[in-house]
Chains A and B, each alone.
Chain A
Amino acid sequence: MRSTVIDRRTFLILAGGAALAPAWAEVAEEALFLGARLNNGRFEAAIIDEKGRDRLVLPLEARGHSFAIDQPRRRAVAFARSPGRFAVAFDVDGRNEPIAIAAAPDRRFHGHGVFTRDGRLMLATENDFEAGRGVVGIYDATDGFRRLGEFPSDGIGPHETLLLHDGRTVCVANGGILTHPDYGRAKLNLATMAPSLAYIDAASGEVVEKAALAPELNRLSIRHMALDAAGHVWFGCQYEGAASERPPLVGRHRRGREIELFPGPQGVLHSMQNYVGSVAVDTSGMVLATSSPRGGLIAFWDTETGQYLGRQSLADGCGVAPIARGRVLATSGRGAVVSASPKGERGLVEAGAEAPAWDNHLRRI
């Protein structure tokens, strides 16, 4: 079994100034954010505060992607970028030794996961690459993240997964893209893609509902999701078809209904270049933020009406996470950290060649 070697001293590196901060326990209520990044040639997961200051850094053996977060118990799992061979569970306050989780030999992590509300299980999207089907791996979060089993994601290329407000149903975005580790990240089935949202009872593994796009949109890969105040699933897509086509990239699914797609203004849709990298809903649940690193922008949407609210520019911006009402904290591949709303944005950390390059996702702890 391949292990993730982590030096505890390195793990406990606290950024400059942190020594002056109060003890972690006393600031448990403060907003903290978690993202993967490339810092001076090294891959790491980093926790930052709402000003973008480093609070905790965890070295990773390769490029990271997103995280499963168990907020009540102050812990998280960092996933490798897909197709990933490793994940690392760690205490967000740096109190315990991290735990390496290796992918099962015939599975690869797909970058995202969730904890169940009771903190007993951690669920991770994975690829059963020989069979060419998506699965959700089940890990015992009370016993060293031992893999207990899996259930089918009912699709190919599962990516982000969410736990719904009912606390028992997980929604999985089956992006539809088949990959195989022997061929790296090559997309093997573009002609026959069939992306979907699958709602699965986490207790039984039973698929309780499935939503798909119209057949002519079979190349619109559903990848990232967020829940709004009403508990509806919002998602962002990446189009694998021709660049001359500009299908809508943002959608909502309300249980029991058809998927709705929201194109927004033509100019913004065009700028997004058929690619949404990450989505987040603000702290009120009323505003959705969708980032497009290719377009260098973050677009905002009203989660009640699907109306476009505005955009902010952020070159190679991708990570977005709720920070306040109508506002998200956003990170970029050039090292910028900004606080952005439909009305404006505030720079917190400036971009720069030496700054850590933030990867796709930012999560609020």
Chain B
Amino acid sequence: MLRNALFCLALACGLPAHAQDAAESIPPDIGQRVAERYVVPSVVAFSGVTGRLVGKTGELCAAPGDDALEEARATFADTVRAWGPVSILRFGPLVEESRFEHLFFWPDVRGVTLRQVQGVLAKEDESAATPASLKEKSVALQGLPALEFVLFGSGSEELAGAEGAYRCRYSAAIAANLAARAAELAQAWAPDAPFHSQFTQPSADNALYRSPGEVAGETIKALTTGLQFARNAELLPALGANPDKANGKRAPLWRSNLTFDLVGTQIEGVMGLVDAAEFRSHLDEADGAIVNSMLFDLKHALKALEEVEAPAETAFTDAEDRARVSYVGVALEGAERTISEQLSAAIGLTMGFNALDGD
């Protein structure tokens, strides 16, 4: 009898699948912490560096030369490293209007970027050389992978001379679009913007987040999605099932040898986001150990990445580096599981079997 009564109660509650009775183990101001300590600084930094990139590509076009090209390339590298921490925020403003794809069209399974960018360069397509008309074209033509080919791919040395004039204008248009999308992100996360308020002030009548538990759920999902993306979309395809199947050219940004910078800054981003959310301070010692175990995995992943010696193009086939990258994959998978299985349970989130990643 009692059993039946309990059963009926459980059914009647009908709590949303990822917002169970958020206990005191969820920091009530988690949205505020995440926004102020992690998101806003990350998107503002990204916006700043893309602004510099616009400047450097502009200078290169105005006065082509080896030094100017080097500076543009170095600023591109800074942009990628600033993108890493932003790229893991795959919800809200980064998802709206396909911003993620506009900034970083990846994975590019069918090599669309290379084909389209080479097409634009061969034709000297004027509609790709102004930011407004470029925005209307394929997303593969306007993100970081496209700009990487323009700045580092075959023929990029012509950027140092007058014969690279068109190529340079196209690079400047991409940089301008990156800066525009980055500015939109920064605006959407600005303290007085609607999304910022929804994320930081969850409430029953909030259209997006009804409780701190839902904000925590969004944060957890961003962490696991970010780790999965780095492993499954960025590292594993290039690593292949065995050394014969390895191919560094399937990794993102191998031409500029920024693959491991990208993954490294994404891992640092995950650690920074966990830190900002302060999950640990609301957990007891035993559950706090979950966070430590995850951070342990990520620190070792970072260390292994730093130890990779060969450039990305060959690191996946070189025996020693391959072992390091494989280790990174294992560590990222471990950290992801710790978050999705243990951390989410410890803070009282139940990620539904069907709701989490259904079909």
| Bitwise interface map of A from 184 to 198 toward B, beta carbon under 8 Å scored 1, else 0 | 111010110000000
Question: How far apart sit A241 and B4, CA to CA, in the bound complex (Å)?
Answer: 41
Question: How far apart sit A324 and B118, CA to CA, in the bound complex (Å)?
Answer: 60
Question: How far apart sit A314 and B14, CA to CA, in the bound complex (Å)?
Answer: 6
Cβ contact within 8 Å between A318 and B12: no
B13: chain A residues at CB < 8 Å are 313, 315
> Which of A92-100, A288-296, A300-308 contacts the other chain?
A288-296
Cβ contact within 8 Å between A188 and B109: yes
A271: chain B residues at CB < 8 Å are 16
Q: Does A127 contact B (CB under 8 A)?
A: no
Q: Does A277 contact B (CB under 8 A)?
A: yes
Q: Does B98 contact A (CB under 8 A)?
A: yes
| Bitwise interface map of B from 201 to 242 toward A, beta carbon under 8 Å scored 1, else 0 | 000000110000000000000000000110011001100000
B139 CB contact (under 8 Å) in A191, A294, A297, A332: A191
The residue among A178, A182, A336, A358 with the most chain B CB atoms within 10 A of its own CB is: A182
- The B1-37 residues at the A interface (CB cut-off 8 A) are 3-4, 7-8, 10-18
Question: How far apart sit A178 and B107, CA to CA, in the bound complex (Å)?
Answer: 11
A275: chain B residues at CB < 8 Å are 355, 358
Q: Does A163 contact B (CB under 8 A)?
A: no
Question: How far apart sit A81 and B8, CA to CA, in the bound complex (Å)?
Answer: 32
- The A226-245 residues at the B interface (CB cut-off 8 A) are 238, 241-244
B352 CB contact (under 8 Å) in A38, A242, A333: A333
Q: Does A345 contact B (CB under 8 A)?
A: yes
Cβ contact within 8 Å between B11 and A338: yes
Cβ contact within 8 Å between B139 and A183: no
Question: How far apart sit A13 and B108, CA to CA, in the bound complex (Å)?
Answer: 46
| Bitwise interface map of A from 148 to 164 toward B, beta carbon under 8 Å scored 1, else 0 | 00000000000100000
B7 CB contact (under 8 Å) in A186, A297, A350: A350
Question: How far apart sit A188 and B232, CA to CA, in the bound complex (Å)?
Answer: 13
Q: Give min CB distance, A159 to chain B, whole Å.
A: 7
- The A332-364 residues at the B interface (CB cut-off 8 A) are 332-334, 336, 338, 345, 347, 350-351, 357-360
Given contacts A182-B109, A315-B15, A338-B11, contact A293 B96 (CB under 8 A): no
B237: chain A residues at CB < 8 Å are 182-183
B350: chain A residues at CB < 8 Å are 316
Q: Does A223 contact B (CB under 8 A)?
A: yes
A358: chain B residues at CB < 8 Å are 353-354
Q: Give min CB distance, B285 to chain A, whole Å.
A: 24
Q: Does B123 contact A (CB under 8 A)?
A: no
A317: chain B residues at CB < 8 Å are 354
Given contacts A183-B107, A190-B98, contact A277 B354 (CB under 8 A): yes
Q: Does B244 contact A (CB under 8 A)?
A: no
Cβ contact within 8 Å between A186 and B232: yes
Q: Does A270 contact B (CB under 8 A)?
A: yes
The residue among B8, B102, B352 with the most chain A CB atoms within 10 A of its own CB is: B352
Which residue of chain A has its CB nearest to the CB of B107?
A183
Question: How far apart sit A277 and B356, CA to CA, in the bound complex (Å)?
Answer: 11
Cβ contact within 8 Å between A359 and B354: yes
Q: Does B330 contact A (CB under 8 A)?
A: no
Q: Give min CB distance, B215 to chain A, whole Å.
A: 12
Q: Does A111 contact B (CB under 8 A)?
A: yes
Q: Does A144 contact B (CB under 8 A)?
A: no
Q: Give min CB distance, B203 to chain A, whole Å.
A: 14
Q: Does A116 contact B (CB under 8 A)?
A: no
Q: Give min CB distance, B352 to chain A, whole Å.
A: 3
Given contacts A182-B237, A350-B7, A351-B10, contact A316 B207 (CB under 8 A): no
Q: Give min CB distance, B156 to chain A, whole Å.
A: 26
Q: Does A174 contact B (CB under 8 A)?
A: no
Cβ contact within 8 Å between A243 and B353: no
The residue among A190, A273, A293 with the most chain B CB atoms within 10 A of its own CB is: A293
Cβ contact within 8 Å between B17 and A295: yes
Given contacts A191-B98, A243-B92, contact A180 B14 (CB under 8 A): no
Q: Does A169 contact B (CB under 8 A)?
A: no
Q: Does B101 contact A (CB under 8 A)?
A: yes
Question: How far apart sit A190 and B4, CA to CA, in the bound complex (Å)?
Answer: 45
Question: How far apart sit A347 and B8, CA to CA, in the bound complex (Å)?
Answer: 7
Cβ contact within 8 Å between B109 and A180: yes
Q: Does A327 contact B (CB under 8 A)?
A: no
A244: chain B residues at CB < 8 Å are 92, 96, 195, 207-208
The residue among A178, A242, A334, A358 with the most chain B CB atoms within 10 A of its own CB is: A242
The residue among A238, A241, A244, A358 with the most chain B CB atoms within 10 A of its own CB is: A244
A318: chain B residues at CB < 8 Å are 354, 358
Cβ contact within 8 Å between B359 and A293: no
Cβ contact within 8 Å between B354 and A347: no
Q: Give min CB distance, B248 to chain A, whole Å.
A: 15
Please name 12 further chain A to chain B contacts, defined as beta carbons within 8 Å, in addition to the given A188-B109, A243-B92, A243-B208, sorted by A numbering: A191-B139, A223-B359, A241-B95, A244-B96, A277-B355, A293-B354, A294-B17, A294-B18, A294-B352, A316-B350, A333-B353, A345-B11
14 A-B pairs with C-beta separation under 8 A = A178-B109, A242-B95, A244-B208, A277-B355, A295-B17, A296-B16, A296-B355, A313-B13, A313-B14, A314-B11, A316-B354, A333-B17, A333-B354, A360-B359
Question: Top 7 A-B pairs ranked by shortest CB distance?
Answer: A313-B14, A333-B353, A316-B352, A293-B354, A318-B354, A293-B355, A242-B96
